[in-house]
Structure 1
Amino acid sequence: MDILHELDERGPPPYRNVDITEDQAREAILRYLSAKCCCHPPRAEELVITRLTQMPLYRYRLESFTETRQHEKTSKPYTGQRLDKPNRGAEPQLWNIPVQTPKMFQEGSERIPLPNSSELKVCQKCQGRGRCKCSRCGGSGQFRCRCSSGSRQRSRNKRCPGCAGSGRKRCSKCSGRGKKVCPVCKGERRLVHYLQLSITWRTLHSEYICTSPVPELNFPTSLLRKVTGEVIVKDSDVTVCPLPGFPDPSEVLTASQRLIREHGTICGPTNHILRQQQMVELIPVVHVQYEYRGKSLSSHVYGRERRVYAKRHPPALSCGCAVM
């Protein structure tokens, strides 16, 4: 486990590592107000911060890179290739087939034909003929022209350019033959039926964000999903263990135990976990109370991106614009 900050009995890493300073908070709020006030851009001297309440939050993330294997029945046209018939050997077990695994946490898929599973059969679509009745003309090679309404031409002096007055048009799908090459066997009349190994690599993502240490400030933690913080713990292994010795809040340890257990339930005969990684971030969040153009307002500034969240819509400013 890579501990980026020492975790001991004294508690979590000091909040000063992720504190948002007064100047940073003022700059973020001014930028926020500038986007809402189009008439008179706010000036720094108009914004007076009266109180800062630091309330950084922990975010725990778990990723599991998994491999899923399944047998699939499929077929392809027989073109004279050598068949690996079932009586030439036993079908290999699902997980005994060597496969080139992609880079960890890089999703993808692959299909591999299984040896000793081929069987030659007549194509059922065309009954071994190699050609099928055209679905557009029903096998006649022609179909009725739209101009036809019981007569071959509308008038003696004006013929339909599509059918030249015959009332029938040649089917373009089968070139007037009434049949077309079988779409299943591609005209080869026989199919090779075989099993293939279907492999899918994907990453399971789970995360948990601790509740606010100051409940009365009611910051929506869902907003933290789109911002970054300071990484304090990072661990990667074939399978990771819950964070032993992690300090308060105990929510982080409980969340790691629960999510690791949930990811472990996906393991089975067709699904394996190849690698796991977990991470704990401390995300800066500060509640800012300030005076602006004679109004008392408050907002949250959060994340390294210094985004701003206002719980309530303040009344219209003196310029007539409303801060949303």
Structure 2
Amino acid sequence: MNLSKVATRRYQMRMAVGEDQSDGDYGVSNTGYVDEDQTDEYVASDTGYDGNMSNYLSSEPNEETNNEQYRQSYVSEDDARQAFLEYADKKCCYSTGPAKEMDNLNFQAFNTYKYCLETFTESRDCKWKCVPYSDGDVDGPENGTSPDPWKIRVDPPNLYEKDKQKVVVPHTSTVQVKTVSETSILNNYIFVFLADQNSEFPSERFNKVTGDIVLEDEQSWLSPITDFVDQSINEASQNAIYEHQNELTSCQILRQRHSIEWLPLTQVDYNWKGKNYHYFVYGKENRAYTNNYPKSCCCVLM
């Protein structure tokens, strides 16, 4: 499966950490890095693990995900009024009158779930590197056979963070002097899917708020979530894990983690001066949003 085609579906794969060298907006980047010295001679590269999934462990949803509270409105009337008032107050062209005077409030819950998968990878490549000879010992082939690139231990400083480390491959120096330098490149690939909340609320606004984590798991190789209450989350998990584990073949998967986050979203219908309007309150921070505020004025920059 070519990941460039994934962008046409509702599953979106973005590299949030690391260098995206792909041709499109989505997909797996080329993990081969070019050394600063373009005259270096390429020596070797390794493709990593063979994709063995025999060590899968299951991810079981938390029983709380079936709790009625996750299907009810998260916000109280007082909080909904305060959120709308603060929203209007921050808009220079909005009068706070509707937020203060609205009545007949009615609440509809559109709570949703967000699935996130992170795949932390390492790729390695080796290049000849020329260094000034300092009249010291030369660790050449006479001292032994140089190890395979993946036999050299390189510990990542932090999981799920981009990094690049260079180490000298033992027994590869020559009298010229040339030394084989191995580069370890760490990348983190992130897949995010938001379940359809069946409202007109713009989903990108969830990026700046938080909810409740109802499931999280971390393994060397994850198995997909299959029995969550929202089937679209199960499908997203299965597709994301399959794509990461089968398309990231030019590198070695070091670690994977995924989570499901419950995100509160409430539509508040109200009446102001005999007309009906609505707005949304979202996130545990109780942020407000509307695209049809009933009273605004013209703002002029002087």
How far has the Cα of 1:297 moved from its partner?
2.5
Q: Is residue 286 from structure 1 mapped to residue 272 from structure 2 by the alignment?
A: no
- Residue pair 1:67, 1:201 contacting (<8 A) in 2 also: yes
- C-alpha distance after superposition, 1:91-129 (max 9, x if no partner): 2101111223323224322110011211233xxxxxxxx
Give the distance between the partners of 2:117 and 2:94, measured in 1 at CA: 46
DSSP 3-state at the match of 1:119 = coil
DSSP 3-state at the match of 2:221 = coil
Give the distance between the partners of 2:178 and 2:161, measured in 1 at CA: 31
Change (3 A) 1:45 1:84: closer
- TM-score, normalised to structure 2's length? 0.71
Change (3 A) 1:18 1:75: farther
Match of 1:258 among 230, 239, 242: 239
Of 292-301 and 36-45, the range deviating more from structure 2: 36-45
- TM-score, normalised to structure 1's length? 0.67
DSSP 3-state at the match of 1:77 = coil
Q: Is residue 238 from structure 1 mapped to residue 293 from structure 2 by the alignment?
A: no
1:93-172 correspondence to structure 2 within 5 Å: 93-121=148-176
Unaligned runs of 5+ in 1: 122-191
Give the distance between the partners of 2:205 and 2:160, measured in 1 at CA: 25
Change (3 A) 1:87 1:56: same
- Residue pair 2:95, 2:295 contacting (<8 A) in 1 also: no
2:257 is matched by which residue type in structure 1? Q
Give the distance between the partners of 1:254 and 1:12, measured in 2 at CA: 22
2:180 is matched with 195
| Percent of residue pairs identical | 29
Give the distance between the partners of 2:203 and 2:128, measured in 1 at CA: 47
Let me know the Cα RMSD of the aligned residues. Answer: 2.6
1:220 is matched with 202
DSSP 3-state at the match of 1:281 = strand
- C-alpha distance after superposition, 1:155-189 (max 9, x if no partner): xxxxxxxxxxxxxxxxxxxxxxxxxxxxxxxxxxx
Give the distance between the partners of 1:49 and 1:225, measured in 2 at CA: 30
DSSP 3-state at the match of 2:259 = strand
Give the distance between the partners of 2:216 and 2:68, measured in 1 at CA: 14
Q: Where is the helix percentage greater, Structure 1 or Structure 2?
A: 2
- Residue pair 2:213, 2:261 contacting (<8 A) in 1 also: yes
- Residue pair 2:279, 2:290 contacting (<8 A) in 1 also: yes
Give the distance between the partners of 2:64 and 2:91, measured in 1 at CA: 42
Give the distance between the partners of 2:263 and 2:83, measured in 1 at CA: 16
How far has the Cα of 1:293 moved from its partner?
5.4
- Residue pair 2:265, 2:280 contacting (<8 A) in 1 also: yes
DSSP 3-state at the match of 2:153 = coil
Give the distance between the partners of 2:73 and 2:128, measured in 1 at CA: 55
Change (3 A) 1:39 1:225: closer
1:296 is matched with 276
2:80 is matched with 25
- C-alpha distance after superposition, 1:191-223 (max 9, x if no partner): x211111012222111100112x3xx3222122
DSSP 3-state at the match of 1:257 = helix
How far has the Cα of 1:15 moved from its partner?
2.4
Give the distance between the partners of 2:207 and 2:95, measured in 1 at CA: 33
